[in-house]
Structure 1
Amino acid sequence: MSENATYPGEKIASIEEYEAGYNAFDDGDMVRAATIGQKDIDKTTRTANINHPKNLSIPKVGDVVIGTVAAVMSSMIAVSIDYINGNPTTSKVECVCSTRNIRKRNIALVNDIAKLKILNHLNGTIHATIDESSLGILFTKCRKCGGKVVPMRDAIKCTECSWIDERKLSADFGKSDFVKLRE
């Protein structure tokens, strides 16, 4: 490989000199590579980028992502990102979303489809929020029988077993057109 070749996690530049660009992230001290590729330092825009032949999709701060809930913990959820700003991605990057300040028992369950907004990239982790009204769960099933659910104010109700459960629902909950389909 050439001298511009980088590996994931490798230091590219200092955050005092450059900002993280495509396929790069800020670890709080240094700009690091998020993927294997060629280092590209842009001195005019002061950004450090990694050019990858298959250009991975790493969401940027402010992007709206849609993904599948992979893990639910007491104060956060982990989401595998499937769409960035409505466009499909195959990189399967994960982000974490703090749920500590939301006053619901069940924010989400594993395999729910969630809509989040990217807050920042810290220590190689992508952090997101679910606090806005347009953000939240887009699709879920009954935790008891796996049946179809319908929204009831700030909860969901199963149409088969009548189980009522809390979720942090998106304003787009139940709409099937929440992503752009491939054309």
Structure 2
Amino acid sequence: MSDNSVFPGDKIASIEEYEAGNNTFDDGDMVRAAAVGEKNMDKETRVVDINHPKLLSVPKVGDVIIGTVAAVMSSMIAVTIDYINGNPTTSKVECICGTRNMRIRNVALVNDIASLKIVAHLNGTIHAVMNEPDLGIMFTKCRKCVGKVVSKSSDAIKCTDCGWIDERKLSSNFGKSNFVKLRE
């Protein structure tokens, strides 16, 4: 390997010297590698990139992602990112979304499809929120019988098979089959 080779998490430059580019992230103090590859430090634009044969999809702050809920904890959910701004990704990067300040008890369940907005990259973790009307759960099933559900209100669903009513933080795009084409 050459002297320019880096591994995920390697320190590349100080954020005072360079900005994070492709396959890199800003941890608040340093620009770090998000992929294995060769670093490319552009001295004119002051941006550092990692050249990798396959471009990994790491969302940037402000990007809207669609993903599958992988874990539900008491104050947050973990979401595996499947789409970034409507474009598919295969990197299976995860982000977390805090749910502590939401008044809904069951914000999401594992395997729900959610739309989130990326707000930060801190300590090697991607942080997201779902505090806008078009953000939230876009697809879910009944927790009791795994049947089809319909929206009852902005934060409740009803099963068409068993009649069970449950809470979720629903997106304004809930139930629409074309949710992948949100941002074109």
Scaled by the length of structure 2, the TM-score of the pair is 0.96
Partner letter of residue 123 of structure 2? Answer: N
* Structure 2 CA distance for aligned equivalents of residues 142 and 44 of structure 1: 54
Q: Deviations over 1:70-92 (max 9, x none)?
A: 00001100000000000100000
Report the counterpart of residue 102 of structure 1 in structure 2.
102
Tell me the CA shift for residue 139 of structure 1. 0.1
Secondary structure, counterpart of 1:68 in structure 2: strand
- Percent pairwise identity: 76
Tell me the CA shift for residue 19 of structure 1. 1.4
* Structure 2 CA distance for aligned equivalents of residues 64 and 43 of structure 1: 30
**Total equivalences in the alignment:** 180
Secondary structure, counterpart of 1:151 in structure 2: strand
Tell me the CA shift for residue 13 of structure 1. 0.2
* Structure 2 CA distance for aligned equivalents of residues 19 and 71 of structure 1: 32
Match status 1:158 vs 2:150: no
* Structure 1 CA distance for aligned equivalents of residues 104 and 171 of structure 2: 14
* Structure 2 CA distance for aligned equivalents of residues 20 and 122 of structure 1: 13
* Structure 2 CA distance for aligned equivalents of residues 160 and 41 of structure 1: 58
Report the counterpart of residue 48 of structure 2 in structure 1.
48
Tell me the CA shift for residue 16 of structure 1. 1.2
Report the counterpart of residue 128 of structure 1 in structure 2.
128
**Structure 1 segments of 4+ aligned residues over 3 angstroms from their partners:** none
* Structure 1 CA distance for aligned equivalents of residues 89 and 30 of structure 2: 26
Secondary structure, counterpart of 1:179 in structure 2: helix
Gaps of 5+ in 2: none
Q: Deviations over 1:60-107 (max 9, x none)?
A: 111100000000001100000000000100000000001111110000
Scaled by the length of structure 1, the TM-score of the pair is 0.96
Partner letter of residue 27 of structure 2? Answer: D
User: RMSD value over aligned CA atoms?
Assistant: 0.8
* Structure 2 CA distance for aligned equivalents of residues 72 and 52 of structure 1: 33
Q: Deviations over 1:6-34 (max 9, x none)?
A: 01111100011111111111112111101
Tell me the CA shift for residue 157 of structure 1. 0.3
Secondary structure, counterpart of 2:79 in structure 1: strand
* Structure 1 CA distance for aligned equivalents of residues 66 and 12 of structure 2: 29
* Structure 2 CA distance for aligned equivalents of residues 95 and 155 of structure 1: 24
